[in-house]
Amino acid sequence: MTAFPRTRNAALVGAVCSGLAAALVGCGGGEDPDAGTNGVGKLSAAKIESRARKAVDGAEAVRLSGSVVTKGRTYKLDMRLKKGGGIGHLSSKGSRFELLRVGNELYLKADADFWARQEGGSSTSDSAAASKLDDKFVKVPSSDPAYKQLSGFTDMDLLLDGLLGLHGKRATGDRGSVGGTRTIRITGGEGSGGSLDVSLEGTPYPLRLQRAGGAGVLELADWNEDFALKAPDKGHIVDYGRRITTGN
């Protein structure tokens, strides 16, 4: 059998590699990490962030779950939000309650223990008053200082705009997955400025946020999935008539 010269073998190998370059990475047979994706993994970190922001701006609904640290207080939340309102649960410093906002109307629902702490819980009358509020929706007056603080957790645009910012020089991080969806991570300040995991499938929505300075971790899911949002029945609404706080 006649052997091909070494130079001819090299030329043939090079031709094969060139022909497969569109589908393979090198000649090792490794799969293209961007095959079947939305292509944002090929972009710079700044452009990925821009695409994610654009996707958020065009979204109609989202679910946020995880923790947020603000003004030294940690809140755990699980909220479904859309244009015009939101519903979900929030907890902080041992207090857990449900929030519901429909338009400008904000309602809070909690158990008797929560309301007993509002009353002071120092007398039988306090306990009796708290029991009447147990598992009922209380309308939070717009003049109550708690209104602005709590309604912010039900405002999709305000909440996302305040949470999604990274700080420092942007860089592309590792590929991974969130909830079974492939993602690409972008970081700010080498990670100290937060990180954002952006979907590589379909619309490049942000799917996980790690806030700068350890200020919480949130997962963002159910993008554009609508849900029912309506005011409580009148029989389930009671008037509290006092200022509401959210901690002990």
**Predicted local distance difference test score (pLDDT) of residue 25:** 43
**Predicted local distance difference test score (pLDDT) of residue 248:** 45
**Predicted local distance difference test score (pLDDT) of residue 23:** 43
Residue 93 — pLDDT band, cuts 50, 70, 90? confident
Long-range contacts of 187-196 (CB under 8 A, 24+ apart): 187/45, 188/212, 192/167, 192/168, 193/166, 193/167, 193/168, 194/165, 194/166, 194/167, 195/166, 196/49, 196/52, 196/164, 196/166
**Predicted local distance difference test score (pLDDT) of residue 176:** 95
> What pLDDT digit, counting tens, does each position of 150-173 carry?
899 999 999 999 888 899 999 999
**Predicted local distance difference test score (pLDDT) of residue 136:** 86
Span 195-223, average pLDDT: 96
Residue 235 — pLDDT band, cuts 50, 70, 90? confident
pTM of the model: 0.79
pLDDT of 20 strictly over 60: no
